[in-house]
Amino acid sequence: MNEIYLDNSATTPLSETVKKKMIEAMECYGNPSSLHSAGQAAEKLLSEARERLLLGFGLRPRQKDGTVVFTSCGTEATALALFGVAYAKTRRDAKRILTTDSEHPSVARAMDRLAADGFEVVRIPTKGGVLDLRAVKNALDQKILLASFMLVNNETGAVYEVGEAFRAIKARYPDAVTHCDAVQGFMKCPFTPTSLCADLITVSGHKLHAPKGVGALYLSNALIKAKKIAPFLVGGGQEDGLRSGTENVIGIAAFGAAVEELRQKKDELTAHVAALRQYAEERLSALEVRINRPEGAYLPHVIHLTLPHIKSETMLHALSADGIFVSSGSACSSHSHHPSEALLAFGLTPHEADCSLRISLSGQNTEADIDALCVSLEKNLARLVRVK
């Protein structure tokens, strides 16, 4: 059976360019910290990938506006950002941390831990997929240490006005540190650290046709100079002392290749996914489903649907039996049996959240994939049990 992959927000297949780069990097066995030429060859792969990520962030690598630290995943990059700033203790009386009520668990659960450790965590509403800028302004006072807002919501595709929010914070409290989880937005919607007004930005390889197990954190030079972040993995001092541990050379080289490939094909891919989204909306609107379109900006890659009283999981398995892969929510929240926090924050009832599907596109999808999805959805909408 043909497999149709429409779960690209969970993870993506490797691109052919990435596979080639990985094979090349597999031949390079040296430790990048070693001084001999085998080590230097590995270090060369790391610095090429670092430059490619900086270019992906819209920066000029030679000018050194900021730096990129490689980690084992997006979750680790975020942990370095949040715990690293909270425990750097540069401002001992600053205890307030702002975040949204619809973050990925890598941020949301880190915030729970910081709250348990005595930080005051304020969760800003994102109803309808719109970051409440007035609530951000109302939450400001001199105790603000950190704000962490995601750029693109992984379940609804909503794009939050992170730049506006961070600029408002920095205008009043320039010492506050700003972190953005851009895992779903990187190389899909245009931004730079300056446009986001972000000191720290998390990204992850496996959402961009690179392998799982590699992520990165962008850090501004100003933040590093002011020592506002402390490493939590200490040891050999790799990654400028910010993340000890021998680097995953193959994964990092692959991440760099994926970013460069997307950078080269950006315009073509943006147009392709936008056209595919429009086609999908036209086809889906003929079916008995509701598209949960965010009220503000959104990424065309993510289509969130509510089904008529059919449990997400029931439909997901029925589609899977036809070789069509979608998601019943974010891959991480599918580990828990609670309704997704992000969907409740969006405004769905627990029952609606329980009867919802996420379809997520990449440049590799075609209209034929959408046709197959709609045929299977229509068949299963007529046949599956409804729950009230």
Examine residue 104 and tell whether it contacts ligand PLP (CB under 6 A): yes
| CB of residue 118 to ligand PLP, shortest distance in Å | 25
Using the rule CB under 6 A, is 183 a contact of ligand PLP?
yes
Interface with ligand PLP (CB under 6 A), residue from 106, 126, 178, 365: 106
| Binding segment (CB under 6 A) for ligand PLP, from list 177-185, 186-194, 229-237, 349-357 | 177-185
Measured from the CB of residue 150, what is the shortest distance to ligand PLP in angstroms?
5
**Contact between 154 and ligand PLP (CB under 6 A)?**
yes
Sole window of 35-43, 178-186, 236-244, 259-267 interacting with ligand PLP (rule: CB under 6 A):
178-186
Nearest distance from C-beta of residue 39 to ligand PLP, angstroms: 27
204 part of the interface to ligand PLP, by CB under 6 A: yes
Name the nearest CA neighbour of 356 among 370, 341, 371, 340: 340
* Shortest distance (Å) from residue 141 CB to ligand PLP: 28
What is the rounded distance in angstroms from the CA atom of residue 156 to the CA atom of residue 304? 6
Q: Which residue is nearest to ligand PLP (CB)?
A: 74
Quick one: 78 or 238, whose CB is closer to ligand PLP? Answer: 78
Nearer to ligand PLP, 162 or 372 (CB): 162
Catalytic, 189? Answer no
User: Does 181 interact with ligand PLP (rule: CB under 6 A)?
Assistant: yes
- Per CB under 6 A, contacts with ligand PLP among 67-86 are 73-75
Q: Does 198 bind ligand PLP (CB under 6 A)?
A: no
Nearer to ligand PLP, 72 or 220 (CB): 72
Is 211 an interacting residue with respect to ligand PLP (CB under 6 A)?
no
Q: Please state the closest distance from residue 151 (CB atom) to ligand PLP, in A.
A: 8
Task: Name the segment binding ligand PLP (CB under 6 A); options: 263-271, 282-290, 324-332, 355-363.
Answer: 324-332
Does 215 sit near ligand PLP (CB under 6 A)?
yes
Name the active-site residue from 73, 189, 332, 374.
332
Regarding 184 and contact with ligand PLP (CB under 6 A), the answer is yes
Q: Are 36 and 30 in contact (CB under 8 A)?
A: yes
Determine how β-strand 302-306 pairs with β-strand 356-360.
antiparallel
Q: Between 206 and 304, whose beta carbon lies closer to ligand PLP?
A: 206
The smaller minimum CB distance to ligand PLP, of residues 94 and 254, is found at 254
Binders in 111-150 for ligand PLP, by CB under 6 A: 150
How many residues at the interface with ligand PLP, by CB under 6 A?
16
* Least gap, CB of 214 to ligand PLP (angstroms): 8
Q: For residue 312, state whether it binds ligand PLP (rule: CB under 6 A).
A: no
State the Cα–Cα distance between residues 364 and 265, nearest whole angstrom.
12
HEC letters along the chain: CCCEECECCCCCCCCHHHHHHHHHHHCCCCCCCCCCHHHHHHHHHHHHHHHHHHHHCCCCHHHCCEEEEEECCHHHHHHHHHHHHHCCCCCCCCCEEEEECCCCHHHHHHHHHHHHCCCEEEEECCHHHCCCHHHHHHCCCCCEEEEEEECECCCCCEECCHHHHHHHHHHHCCCCEEEEECCCCCCCCCCCHHHHCCCEEEEEHHHCCCCCCCEEEEEEHHHHHCCCCCCCCCCCCCHHHCCCCCCCHHHHHHHHHHHHHHHHCHHHHHHHHHHHHHHHHHHHCCCCCEECCCCCCECCCEEEEECCCCCHHHHHHHHHHCCEECECCCCCHHHCCCCCHHHHHHCCCHHHHHCEEEEECCCCCCHHHHHHHHHHHHHHHHHCCCCC
302 Cβ contact list (under 8 Å, min separation 6): 9, 152, 154, 155, 156, 157, 184, 358, 359, 360, 361
| Site residues, ligand PLP (CB under 6 A) | 73-75, 104, 106, 150, 154, 181, 183-184, 204, 206, 215, 330-332
- The catalytic residues are 332
